[in-house]
C-alpha cells in the first residue's frame, strides 16, 4: 500500500470509530479486485475502459479500487462483517462458486430480479438470457442468484503438439489407456510426459476426474457432500482411481521434483518445451502472451474416459469467476448496472480477445490460442464445480481432504488403501459432528 493510501485509510478509521474502517465518499463506487489503472494486466485494463464508458452516463461518479486497509481479502471481509463493504466484490473462492456461508449469513445481495432486466447490448434478451445455462449453477443458492459470471474456467489437458508429434503420441487420446500410451511414448523419446504443480490443490484434480469417469458424477458428489455417506470413499472405484495415479507416479510420468514446483514454475517447463503435457485450468493462457510466443503449438483435449467406467465422458469440471453485490453495499443500483456492462457483448468480446479468457455468454467466440477447446465445450453436457463445491460449503473439510491427498500423491506417505480409509474417516467424523 502507498504511504498516502495508508494515511488516508488510518484517518478514515479514526473518524469512523471502528477497527479497519474506510468509508468512501457519497459518489464513489468501490470495486474489489480492481487494480490501479497503471497495472498492465489485460483484464484490469479492460475494466478501466468499462469504467470510462460507464462514467459517460454517470459523470458525477468516481470509481475506486476497494481499500482493504492493506490486508487484502481478509480485510475486505472485515469490512463486510462490520457493515460497510465495497459495492462489488467476490464471495467465491478459487475452487468453487459462491461460498454459501456468506449467503446464509445475509452478506450477499439476492440479484435474481436484477437479472430480469434487459441485457446491455443483446436485443430482445434479458440479462439472464444472455448467460449460458451451462454456467449458471455456481451463481445460485437455493434457486436464487447471488453472483454474476465474469469469465469461465474449465479444466482440460493441454499438450505441446510438436512434442507429441515427435514422440508419435496421439494428439487427442480418447481413453485412459491411450493417454498412458502417450506418456510412455514421450518418456521413451526423452521428453518429460507431464509437468505438475505440487504445492497447490491442482494435484487433487487427477483423483476427482478419474473417480468421476469411473463412478459417475452422482457418486462422487455423494462422497464429497452427503452427510449420510451413501457413497463412502472406500467404494472400490475410488481405490481404483488412486491406484491409477499411483501407477503414473511409479512409472515416472510426472516431472522429477514436481513436489517442489508451484504453478508458475510448473507452467514454465511447459512453455519452454521441457514438458509435453499439463493438466490445468483455462486461465493457463490468460495474460501469458509474452511467455507463450506467437507460434506455440498448444492443443487442448478433454480428460480421457476410463473404459468400463460409468461416468459421462462429456462432463466438464471447472468454475466461474464471479462478482457479487454485498447486501449492505452503499450503491447497489449502480453496482448492478456496472455488472450488467461487464456481461455485455462489448466487454466480453474484448475479454476473449485481449485477456484470452472464456466468456460465460451464449454464442461467444473462444480465445484464438485455445485450439481444441471449441470441441470440448461444444460437446459438454454438464458443468460441475471443483469438488462439487465442497470448499464453498465446508472449507475446513476441504482443507483436510486436500491435505490427505497431498500426503498420498506429493509426499507419498500413504498407500491407496490408506488414503481412501483416511478420507472416509475424516468425512464421517466431520458430518457426524455437524449432525450432533
Q: For residues 186 and 157, what is the distance between their CA atoms, to the nearest angstrom?
A: 15
Q: What Cα–Cα distance (Å) separates residue 140 from each residue in 234, 334, 365?
A: 31, 21, 25
Check whether domain 154-317+387-435 has CATH 3.40.190.10, yes or no: yes
What pLDDT was estimated at residue 7? Answer: 36
Q: Which residue ranges does the chain devote to CATH 3.40.190.10?
A: 3-150+322-364, 154-317+387-435
pLDDT band (50, 70, 90) for residue 324? very high
- Determine how β-strand 140-141 pairs with β-strand 62-65: unpaired
DSSP 138: G
CB 364 within 8 Å of CB 345: yes
Q: Identify the pLDDT of residue 68.
A: 57
Q: Which CATH superfamily is domain 3-150+322-364 in?
A: Periplasmic binding protein-like II (3.40.190.10)
Q: Residue 83 has which C-alpha cell?
A: 457493515
Burial class (CB in 10 A: 0-12, 13-18, 19+), 14: exposed
* Nearest of 107, 105, 43, 54 to residue 359 by alpha carbon: 43
Q: Can you give the pLDDT at residue 62?
A: 95
Confidence of residue 2 (pLDDT cuts 50, 70, 90): very low
Q: pLDDT band at residue 159, thresholds of 50, 70 and 90?
A: very high
What's the pTM? 0.85
Q: What is the pLDDT of residues 248-279, one digit of tens each?
A: 999 999 999 999 999 889 999 999 999 999 99
Whether residue 21 has pLDDT greater than 60 = no
Averaged pLDDT, 378-399? 89
SS3 category, 430: helix
Integer Cα distance of 223 and 241 in angstroms: 14
What are the beta bridge partners of residue 322?
149
**Cβ pair 6, 12 in contact under 8 A:** no
Q: Are the beta carbons of 9 and 70 closer than 8 angstroms?
A: yes
What the block records as the C-alpha cell of 333 is: 443500483
Distance CA 287, CA 271 (A): 13
pLDDT tens sequence across 91-113: 987 666 677 889 999 999 999 99
Grid cell for residue 293? 510466443
- Structural contact between residues 59 and 53, judged by C-beta atoms closer than 8 angstroms: no
Amino acid at each position: 500500500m502507498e504511504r498516502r493510501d495508508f494515511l488516508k485509510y488510518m484517518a478514515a478509521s479514526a473518524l469512523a470509530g471502528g477497527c479497519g474502517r474506510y468509508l468512501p465518499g457519497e459518489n464513489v463506487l468501490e470495486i474489489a479486485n480492481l487494480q490501479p489503472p497503471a497495472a498492465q494486466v489485460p483484464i484490469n485494463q479492460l475494466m478501466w475502459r468499462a469504467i470510462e464508458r460507464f462514467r459517460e452516463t454517470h459523470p458525477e461518479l468516481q470509481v475506486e479500487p476497494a481499500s482493504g486497509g492493506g490486508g487484502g481479502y481478509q480485510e475486505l471481509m472485515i469490512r463486510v462483517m462490520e457493515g460497510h463493504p465495497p459495492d462489488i466484490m467476490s464471495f467465491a473462492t478459487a475452487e468453487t462458486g459462491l461460498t454459501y456461508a456468506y449467503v446464509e449469513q445475509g452478506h450477499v445481495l439476492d440479484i435474481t430480479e436484477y437479472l430480469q432486466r434487459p441485457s446491455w447490448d443483446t436485443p430482445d434478451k434479458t440479462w439472464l438470457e444472455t448467460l449460458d445455462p451451462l454456467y449458471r449453477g455456481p451463481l445460485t443458492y437455493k434457486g436464487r442468484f447471488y453472483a454474476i459470471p465474469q469469465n469461465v474456467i474449465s479444466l482440460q489437458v493441454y499438450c505441446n503438439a510438436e512434442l507429441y508429434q515427435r514422440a508419435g503420441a496421439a494428439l487427442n487420446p480418447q481413453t485412459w489407456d491411450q493417454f498412458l500410451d502417450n506418456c510412455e511414448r514421450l518418456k521413451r523419446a526423452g521428453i518429460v510426459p507431464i509437468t505438475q504443480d505440487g504445492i497447490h490443490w491442482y494435484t487433487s484434480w487427477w483423483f476427482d476426474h478419474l473417480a468421476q469417469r469411473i463412478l459417475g458424477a452422482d457418486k462422487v458428489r455423494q462422497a464429497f457432500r452427503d452427510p449420510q455417506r451413501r457413497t463412502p470413499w472406500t467404494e472400490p472405484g475410488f481405490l481404483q482411481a488412486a491406484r491409477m495415479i499411483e501407477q503414473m507416479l511409479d512409472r515416472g510420468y510426472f516431472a522429477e521434483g514436481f513436489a517442489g514446483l508451484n504453478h508458475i514454475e510448473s507452467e514454465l517447463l511447459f512453455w519452454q518445451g521441457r514438458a509435453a503435457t499439463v493438466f490445468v485450468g483455462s486461465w493457463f493462457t490468460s495474460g501469458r502472451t509474452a511467455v507463450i510466443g506467437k507460434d506455440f503449438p498448444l492443443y487442448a483435449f478433454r480428460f480421457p474416459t476410463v473404459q468400463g467406467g460409468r461416468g459421462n465422458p462429456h462432463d466438464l469440471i471447472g468454475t466461474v469467476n464471479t462478482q457479487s453485490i454485498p447486501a449492505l453495499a452503499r450503491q447497489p443500483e449502480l453496482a448492478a448496472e456496472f455488472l450488467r456492462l461487464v456481461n455485455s457483448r462489448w466487454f466480453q468480446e474484448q475479454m476473449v480477445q485481449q485477456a484470452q479468457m472464456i466468456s460465460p455468454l451464449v454464442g461467444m467466440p473462444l480465445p484464438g490460442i485455445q485450439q481444441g477447446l471449441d470441441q470440448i465445450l461444444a460437446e459438454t453436457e454438464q458443468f460441475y464445480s471443483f469438488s462439487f463445491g465442497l470448499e464453498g460449503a465446508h472449507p475446513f473439510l476441504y482443507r483436510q481432504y486436500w491435505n490427505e491427498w497431498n500426503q498420498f500423491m506429493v509426499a507419498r506417505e500413504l498407500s491407496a488403501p490408506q488414503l481412501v480409509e483416511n478420507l472416509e474417516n475424516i468425512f464421517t467424523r466431520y458430518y457426524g459432528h455437524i449432525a450432533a
